[in-house]
Amino acid sequence: MHFWRDQRVVVTGGAGFLGSVVVDKLRERGCRAIGVPRSRDYDLVDMAAVYRLYRDMDPTMVIHLAARVGGIGANREHAGLFFYDNLMMGAQLMEAGRQHGLRKLVALGTICAYPKETPVPFKEDAIWNGYPEETNAPYGLAKKMLLVQSHAYRAQYGFNSIVLFPVNLYGPGDNFHPSTSHVIPALIRKCVEAKERGASSVTLWGDGSPTREFLYVEDAAEGILLAGEHYESSDPVNLGTGQELSIRTLASMIAEETGYQGRFEFDSGKPNGQPRRCLDVSRAAQFGFHAKCDLKTGLRKTVGWFLTHRSSLREVTFK
């Protein structure tokens, strides 16, 4: 509690899905100075705006969560946008932070940065052993450059930054837009709407065989703050549960939670994405992180939130 009470923390993306939970947890820990820059006021792709952010908010720590992000379809359609915006936001926040005398920058990478054929469970040392899965590569590589910059700036300038690599996040407050959402909110929406229409089937991309690992948003926020308190290295850190399941199994679990009784049809003409995803989370355990929310409980909470808030959903679109 004492650690956060004396910090002035800027949380980029702090009004978003994960960021709003991080901000709440900062308040619970006694942080008295929290800045949440909004994109309409501070375009983090514009270096002049980044400099202005540091002047206006004078942070001691930045937690960089802002990102251009979406599912497979959004990644394919906006590959250039995802690469450029994510690269520039991270690079400029770190460079301006170095110049400002920032004490620490905590940046969020992505599981998409790992090579397509990474052996399971993904160990952090394997992150440079190949090219990412093609549909997510521009986004994943842009985020992976944070690691390069973190190591380089620590070596040359003594700048303290860390980069965390979470698995797919989910939970209340997620983006449920049909074109830009990730797999769990997309499946929840499809199942609920199919149930209401009385549809006999729901079509999903791929063949259902890829495996994924999912981390509840509250657990992710806890991991980020624990790393902010205790982790002091530019080596990457995985955040996850260490448990994988197939998309086919996930679909069945969501059907059960939503009460959808139809069947799933898999469109194998659409991409599967990365074949398998599951993390080795032993490095994060060294600073006390362990996920607490099991998937079944997390899905129940997320479905309940969606049903309650359908009329006022946070939906992300890209220009």
For the chain, what is the domain count? 1
Q: Is the predicted pLDDT of residue 246 greater than 70, yes or no?
A: yes
For 76, which DSSP code?
A: H
In whole angstroms, what is the distance from residue 280 CA to residue 189 CA?
Answer: 30
Q: pLDDT tens, 164-201?
A: 999 999 999 999 988 778 899 999 999 999 999 999 99
Q: Residue 296 sits in a domain of what CATH number?
A: 3.40.50.720
27 found inside a domain: yes
Q: pLDDT tens, 93-127?
A: 999 999 999 999 999 999 999 999 999 999 999 99
Binned at pLDDT 50, 70 and 90, residue 40 comes out as: very high
DSSP string, 147-211: HHHHHHHHHHH---EEEEEE-EEE-TT----TTT--HHHHHHHHHHHHHHHT-SEEEEES-S--E
**Closest C-alpha to 102, from 51, 48, 165:** 51
pLDDT number for residue 319: 56
Active site annotation includes 51: no
281 found inside a domain: yes
pLDDT number for residue 315: 64
Quote the distance between the C-alpha of residue 259 and its chain's center.
Answer: 28
Domain membership of residue 154 as a residue range? 2-312
The count of other CB atoms within 10 Å of the CB of residue 119 is 12
317 found inside a domain: no
SS3 content of the chain, % helix, strand, coil (to 5): 45, 15, 40
Q: Is the predicted pLDDT of residue 236 greater than 70, yes or no?
A: yes
Exposed, middle or buried, 162 (CB in 10 Å: 0-12/13-18/19+)?
buried
**Mean pLDDT, residues 284-295:** 98
Binned at pLDDT 50, 70 and 90, residue 45 comes out as: very high
In whole angstroms, what is the distance from residue 22 CA to residue 132 CA?
Answer: 28
318 found inside a domain: no
pLDDT number for residue 73: 80
Q: pLDDT tens, 47-75?
A: 999 999 999 999 999 999 999 887 778 88
Which of 54, 114, 139, 260 is catalytic? The answer is 139
Percent above pLDDT 70 for the chain: 98
319 found inside a domain: no
Prediction pTM value:
0.94
Q: Is the predicted pLDDT of residue 316 greater than 70, yes or no?
A: no
Structural tokens at position 70:
């979406």
